[in-house]
Amino acid sequence: MSENDRILEKAQSWLTGNFDEETKKQVQNLIDNDPTGLADAFYRDLEFGTGGLRGIMGVGTNRMNKYTVAMATQGLANYMKQMFSKAIQMKTAIGFDSRNNSKEFAQITANVLSANGIKVFLFDVLHPTPLLSFAVRHLQCQSGVVITASHNPKEYNGYKVYWADGGQLVNPNDTNVITEVEKIKSIDDVKMTAINENIEIIGEEIDKAYLQKVKELSLNPKAIHSSAGLRIVYTPIHGSGVYLVPQALKEFGFTNVIPVEEQNVIDGNFPTVKSPNPEEPATLELALNKARETNADLLLGTDPDADRVGVAVKNNKGEFILLNGNQTASLLIFYLLKTWDEKGKLTGDEYIVKTIVTSELLKEIADSFGVESIDVLTGFKYIAEVILENEGTKKFIGGGEESYGYLVGDFVRDKDAVISCCMIAETAAWAASKKKTLFQLLIDIYTEFGFYKETLISLTKKGKEGADEIRQMMVNYRNSPPAAINGIKVVKIKDYLTLKEKNFTTNMTSEIELQKSDVLQFYLSDGSKITVRPSGTEPKIKYYFGVKARLTNAAMFDEVNNILDNKVKGIIASMDLN
């Protein structure tokens, strides 16, 4: 059977199965009028990547819709029954964000789980994703589900599954859940009729317990008190941070939080932005205007499910500039370790965690305080996995990834923008107590540890053809790796698919002690690092560029910054990525 025949057969099964008439009408329209759209909608089943199940909303097996959600949930239920057959009561917490259909998909998830005899705790209104992680642990659930597509465009939605530790699914549970989903050949295999007594609505009591734990993270209440009037502009970008972030900042002691009213409106169409991703400068433009108007000291913007946060600060000219994720992570880790050290809390058993694509500056900072730095694959679920593995033996202080996700403390097991907003604001207050801005503190860090600069390029390749092209690009890099990039010799290659590290200086090959992943890293003789990685959640191939140089004093910042910018441009041009 050809691939096109297989796709058609898969689509036709939706015409004869137990699907509603509107769904059948849309599938028939694809068959009759849109062969490319049909292929994209049915050529595969949605898979769990670094962020779980995620895709464009619409009909088809490769789309987010009530049937793919229901089938995934039945697979989860079947796996839970296998794993927790001796449990007196299996329990799952369910949350959702502001996206279109999120509440509906959450209710369907609750219905299916309840129909399978599983106790469900369903949040009453939209909540940040980290609240779901917290609720799983707080309510002693075996699993959790949150309906969100994080920072993706409005057309997307997603389905993140969490396990009993409060972290996202990792191997082998992720693949085992998919195996159970793949066994479901028809929507008729799904138990759809809710058992209402198995569904309990939760909300305020979880919020209170969570906020109390967040407040306990504060390390410098005196610094906050002295800078309580710090002017903080905050935007939830139409998402789920709208209630809890301002409340948490208030609990910390910050009294001057300025809202961006247009973006306090909960709306899954994200009407004031092209994309609700705080990594994109245009997304924070309204907030930047508000910050300039109010002469704010700090800008914080969270994505729709409030697990990522974008930050803007004033430079030495009083102009607002956006920090990238590596810069924010560096400020946060430096503040945490510096304060822990000053308070005599470092015993030698502490550690931080970062992903392999996050700045090496974090490791430099950790090394200077005698704190272990652990690298993991891209995806915060791997940071949660390390926390679980070290529970009871080592102390997790904090961690993060370059894509604007950070965590402090271990009572949440996912990136947490509510915690991050509070701790970033506290870092700003601490810097202010020393007569410095966050920008000046960042330059101090560069002067002490080295000026690290990172840039990311994402190439979008949509649909089946795009996925094939991305696969071939990775094959080409492996079969014909560059000997030099931008005229600078490649001295080491790490291949996380073969788990081999090849050092061309020593001509030695060593093992990489991580799980397999389709990632390549090229290390250059001048200390530059280039990482190539297909996204696990979007139709993109990502290139991460890291360069570094010495910064002898703050006055040299602009000059060295330009040198590093030009180095990155040279690398990009030499790889033909312009």
Positions annotated as catalytic residues are: 150
Instruction: Specify burial of residue 81 (Cβ count, 10 A radius: 0-12, 13-18, 19+).
Output: middle
Give whole-number Cα distances, 311 to 210, 235, 317, 365, 434, in Å. 23, 11, 17, 21, 20
Give whole-number Cα distances, 175 to 132, 358, 386, in Å. 22, 26, 19
User: Taking the C-alpha atoms of 326, 327, 331 and 333 in order, what is their torsion angle to the nearest 10 degrees?
Assistant: 10
Beta bridge partners of 508: 503
* 115 vs 111: CA distance, rounded Å: 6
Maximal CA-CA distance, the chain? 72
DSSP letter at 169 equals: P
* 52 vs 307: CA distance, rounded Å: 15
How crowded is the C-beta side of 514, counted as CA atoms within 13 Å? 24
- The amino acid at 294: T
CB distance 411 to 287 below 8 Å? no
* Residue 100 backbone dihedrals phi, psi, to 5 degrees: -60, 135
Per-residue tokens: 274: 């092209």
The angle formed by the CA atoms of residues 48, 49 and 52, to the nearest 5 degrees, is 55
Starting at the earlier edge strand, list the strands of the sheet with 91-96: 53-56, 156-163, 143-147, 91-96, 119-123, 199-202
Strands (E), 461-525: 484-485, 488-495, 500-503, 508-511, 520-524
Residue of 213, 302, 212 lying closest to 257 (CA atoms): 302
Residue 245: left (phi > 0), alpha (psi -120 to 50), or beta?
alpha
Give the 3-state secondary structure of residue 437.
Answer: coil
